[in-house]
Amino acid sequence: MKTTPAFLRSYYLAASVFFGSCFSACEHSVTPPEPYGAIPSAYQMEWQKMEYYMFAHFGPNTFTNVEWGNGEEDPKVFNPTNLDCRQWAATAKAAGMKGIIITAKHHDGFCLWPSEYSTHTVRESLWKDGKGDLLKELSEACKEYGLQFGVYLSPWDQNHPAYGTPEYNQVFANTLDEVLSGYGHIFEQWFDGANGEGHDGKKQVYDWDLFHETVYRNQPHAIIFSDVGPGCRWMGNEQGIAGATNWSTLNITGFEPGLGAPPTDTLNQGNRGGEAWVPAETDVSIRPGWFYSPDTDDKVKTVEQLVELFYTSIGRNSNLLLNVPPNREGRIHPVDSTRLMEFKQVIEESFAENLMKGATIQASAVRGNGSRYEPANLLDGVYDSYWATNDGELTAWLEIALEQQKTFNRLLLQEYIPLGQRVAGVTVDYWNDSLNDWAFLTEATTIGYKRILRFPTVTTQKIRIHITESLACPVLNNLELYKAPEFLSAPAVMRNKEGRVLITCSSPDPVIYYTLDGTTPTTSSLRYQQPFSLEQAGTVKAIATIQNGEQISEVVTEDFDISPAKWAVISPEIENMDLIIDGNVQSVATIPLESDPVIIDLGETIGIKGFCYVPVNHTSANNISRYHLSVSENGTDWKSVKSSALFNNIKNNPVRQDIRLDQPVTSRFIKLEPLQGVHDGDAYIIAEIGVITK
Ligand code: FUL
């Protein structure tokens, strides 16, 4: 065996100590990036990592079929016959959700616990002979299922007699105190910004400092939701679409929740380099409305729609608060829970195998040129290890060589947000073998906690990610790559002015089947070849299929009332008024404020039980919020059937409004007089008007 002479051994030792210590000293002298701008608290980080949790709207509205109760409801209407909060918790858990937020008190003031500060509570209801406490049952169920528990409390209270006076602020603070001290840990306190008028017409000037102090005194770690945080923010719409640019930072000075909030576009995108860390939360309902209604059992969002919501919320640096409203039994309806499980399955399939596994990665720059911030940190699955460049290096590229050729269509990126949100521009290229060159794949502006980019499926072994703009040196901690299954879109069913039904599907070359008898369509049902006539009321259910029926879409159900084939809009006499009865919700009429009321001649006298107004499904549209509705047999003598009525919550959730009359009427003409829009515009917008005869 060869031995090293003693004098050489001591030389080697000295040299290795010297070089070794220099190496580790150099490594350690590489300082981590300084936090940039506003950064999340430890509790905001915990909250952000929850990503997905349930909203439960439940209260008198569940039983009265309205979205906003007025506080005058008899508390006895609240009477769930088979309430089981453990079923809600089991459903949320199985769906992959991390918590439940309950509407402890909505705008009608009804308290789901026996509050000492109200006479409009479960105590006054028939449920459990007034002995029940829903917050107790739900908080215990959440605990049992390992879920976080959160509460929604509306400061706007249409029942409390003190509302609209300074005393009410203390009443509301007492109410908060009660809820936040009585049911264990609360992860999120949800403040609704709605601020309507009280009975005496007075608006409340809210004491937000008092409310926040009350929350933090009881629950120091709670995330406070409102339009402007401070814990997290409303992202500006109730359709589930966070901004493609979405900063978790927001300028809050001078703003307040509700009427004093920043514009909805700002809430949607946050402020680049904004002064406070107020990340976005996407609240959206699985049904068209927030409360359960038997009328919407066939309007529960499809899996395709839920998957879309996933990408426009969690995929865009926002948490997803998905509302799944319990029904009149006090349970989550089977249609909703089935849809949740199917949704979860698609997401699991889409993100089953990270194709970055085994990849090698090179960066144009590495902080300190050492191993501590090397790009391999992006693939190690460890949250707190990250790749960074040197201070001042605001652009960079990463080149990833996959283990072998891979086929994929999703790229997941994460910034290490404990050091702030920095990246403002990123483009992604892939190596295109046939071009023998790099080709454009996709691009984005912000990343934040999590960004998932979707693009057409490609097969390649190399991708290159360019950080093209960053507010400070980029700091990223994770990259993942996936092949999500292609989706066969469900068909769209519409009926035109002539009463002909058209069924279309956005996926290529589908074969469509449908039924008219309410049964679920199969490949043996009627095959759709061309538009068909449906002048009377009826239900169309349709599916799309490809590959000889091997792949079948979800079922779509459209419930039609009588068709507008015989109708005519006779007022106002302005262009395009026919668009409000053409069956196409995409075509809209714009009606200047001073126009004559909208009068529709139904062509014959019919029994009318209600009417429907389809607004434009965008919060910036000046949809009608307040209206009069009258009917007439002859077009001259009018009878008022709705006077100065409100379309509830239409500003934030502009979905189809089905309004039932107190008493059915028999008439030939209907007259809609818009009184107020959701914004101060110079025209109102109507997509469709219909009548309810069923
Ligand atoms: C809105 C409310 O007015 C709706 O009723 C619902 O509770 C939604 C989550 O917030 O502002």
**Res. 22: pLDDT tops 60:** no
Q: Are 619 and 651 in contact (CB under 8 A)?
A: yes
Q: How remote is the C-alpha of 364 from its chain's centroid?
A: 37
* Ligand 1 pocket test target in 653, 655, 657 with most atoms within 8 Å of CB: 653
What is the greatest pairwise CA distance in the chain? 118
CA dist 520 and 503 (Å) reads 16
Cα–ligand 1 centroid distance for 694 (angstroms): 28
Task: Note the pLDDT tens digit of each residue in 33-90.
Answer: 999 999 999 999 999 999 999 999 999 999 999 999 999 999 999 999 999 999 999 9
> 293-321 in b/e burial notation, b at 16+ Cβ within 10 A?
beebeebbbbbbbbbbbbbbbbbbbbbbb
Task: Note the pLDDT tens digit of each residue in 426-446.
Answer: 999 999 999 999 999 999 999
Cα–ligand 1 centroid distance for 287 (angstroms): 13
Q: Are 441 and 428 in contact (CB under 8 A)?
A: yes
SS3 content of the chain, % helix, strand, coil (to 5): 20, 35, 45
Cα–ligand 1 centroid distance for 652 (angstroms): 8
Q: Ligand 1 in contact with 645 (CB < 6 A)?
A: no
Across the range 224-247, mean pLDDT stands at: 97
Task: Supply 13's token pair.
Answer: 């030792």
pLDDT confidence band for 548 (50 / 70 / 90): confident
291 Cα nearest atom in ligand 1: 5
Q: Are 447 and 414 in contact (CB under 8 A)?
A: yes
| 418 secondary structure, DSSP code | G
CA distances from 311 to 97, 306, 435, 437 (A): 16, 9, 31, 30
190 Cα nearest atom in ligand 1: 9
Task: Supply 533's token pair.
Answer: 């006539």
3-state secondary structure 51-83: CEEEEECCCHHHHHCCCCCCCCCCHHHCCCCCC
CA-closest candidate to residue 612, choices 682, 691, 537: 691
Residues in Cβ contact with 79 at an 8 Å cutoff, skipping those fewer than 6 apart? 63, 125, 126, 127
Interior angle at CA 555, CA 551 and CA 557, nearest 5: 160
Task: Note the pLDDT tens digit of each residue in 316-361.
Answer: 999 999 999 999 999 999 999 999 999 999 999 999 999 999 999 9
The total of other beta-carbon atoms located within 10 Å of residue 519's CB is 10
Q: Ligand 1 in contact with 652 (CB < 6 A)?
A: yes
**Res. 7: pLDDT tops 50:** no
pTM, full prediction: 0.92
Q: Ligand 1 in contact with 118 (CB < 6 A)?
A: no
Task: Note the pLDDT tens digit of each residue in 352-390.
Answer: 999 999 999 999 999 999 899 999 999 999 999 999 999
Instruction: List the residue whose alpha carbon is closest to atom 1 of ligand 1.
Output: 192
CA-closest candidate to residue 603, choices 565, 560, 641: 565
57 Cα nearest atom in ligand 1: 7
* Ligand 1 pocket test target in 652, 655, 678 with most atoms within 8 Å of CB: 652
